[in-house]
Chain A
């Protein structure tokens, strides 16, 4: 269980995240939505400790962040940030193997290798496992990063805009894998997504932010409604039910 209390981040005199309280439900895909600059990425960066918070507390399984040992926490919680292009030349398998680092410290045992193989299979990367990352397409690379996170086998997974710059095929593939991770392995996945229709089709729970505050949260069907979306984005978004899914039309 992740609980956030009164968390704040200040840049200059602007409160980018302003005393936010949040309880994150377990075993779900939780989507963070909102306009650019609403504070989504800043909020989840602080929760997953990649960014120092200026005030407030984050409790991971009833233990405050500062009381966690970094290595122990890396077995509970993994992070994948946006714009993660790596210059470093690693093969897909080497990258995924680094996901086991918190457990193995570099000496892979049989269990580690099993996790690595499973993660590669999960993402359908078996054939590409010996290719170098810089030889892959952006979509394949993103799949490899997610395989690494799967190999890390943490209960909580933070993904900051994992669909950024991906084509539809890879986007759908990734969202389906996330859904499977939640359904089959009981993971809790927190994800920042801009495409609201992906949120509508795949997320279980939505946290909506505006000006550094959470203005709405709830099950997906409660949030994906014209009136609520107007409050979040400040624009008229038509929501149509199509084959049992709520689809947002915001193109005109």
Chain B
């Protein structure tokens, strides 16, 4: 019996069905009365509501969940460290720094500009992080993310300081916490920009895995290590900054989801990448639904829910890994 359940849990199809069911259900959640049937009977009100608010919200959650967990997976692969992700390597903070710069010089409206500058800053920041990693002699599993977080905090402090000075702190605070309640048609489409990069990640999955085996393995197999690591960082920077600009930053997703998938099916990205995307989307969707239901008709910010659920899962992961280390 137990075996049957674990078999089921390893089926991608099973999880896909759950994701679809949860997605459909999430469409019905909300203050305004809404009936799924209305979409088929062409009820004007229902269709309007779906197009303006419910669908954008659902899609942005799914894309964000998939993007963040894949960013985490790529970073963990190329740094060879299970605790590195956009939120522990400073990538998100750099991205926010970029948003701040963009607001300062171009005002709050030019979204594509914001995205571009956020991308440049997060790529730059991730490069610095990788450079520091290379000069570090002892790459302790815990020290690496600590360095990243310290770097992130420094950048965060600089961002806040400048934002205070130029009186744009209110403008900025909406990027501090991820939030899907403001997502409506016309405000989330930038997220689509990240999707092609998810596919690029899949195309290069084998090379990214080889890069994760280290420089000498890569050389031996004829893979250009530096180029692949750079490609991985560009992918991470693009998808992280699309998320930060449209939704805001959400932590933990990028660490927990790839770690769970890694335990289930290993680190061969060819296999684990699609599953990571699926789990990330599902995880964020469930957190969002919890946030919308608990104090209905009000809602709790998703980053709060993710932080609570995420930190508990993170601790569980930490203890599990520790147990494994001490026995090996």
Contacts and interface: CB of A to CB of B under 8 A. Distances in A.
A70 B267 contact: no
Nearest to B224: A70
Given A88-B77, A98-B209, A106 B270 contact: yes
Contact of B217 (A84, A87, A132): A84
B221 A152 contact: yes
A49 B217 CA distance: 12
A74 B209 CA distance: 17
Contacts of B107: none
Give the interface residue-count category, chain B: 20 to 34
A101 B210 contact: yes
B262 interface: yes
A14 interface: no
Interface in A80-125: 80-81, 84, 86-91, 94, 98-99, 101-102, 105-106
Interface in B177-212: 205-206, 209-210, 212
A179 B39 CA distance: 72
A240 interface: no
A73 B222 contact: yes
Given A50-B215, A101-B206, A88 B267 contact: yes
Interface in A56-82: 70-75, 78-81
A98 B208 CA distance: 12
Contact of A89 (B206, B215, B266): B266
Contacts of A74: 219-222
Contacts of A134: 324, 328
Given A88-B80, A89-B267, A79 B262 contact: no
Contact of B219 (A72, A79, A87): A79
Given A50-B216, A74-B220, A106-B205, 8 more contacts: A74-B222, A81-B216, A88-B77, A90-B209, A90-B268, A91-B268, A98-B217, A106-B270
Interface of A: 48-50, 70-75, 78-81, 84, 86-91, 94, 98-99, 101-102, 105-106, 132, 134, 149, 152
24 contacts: A50-B220, A70-B223, A74-B221, A75-B222, A79-B216, A79-B219, A81-B216, A87-B80, A88-B77, A88-B209, A88-B212, A88-B213, A89-B267, A90-B268, A91-B266, A91-B268, A94-B268, A98-B210, A101-B210, A101-B223, A102-B222, A134-B328, A152-B220, A152-B221
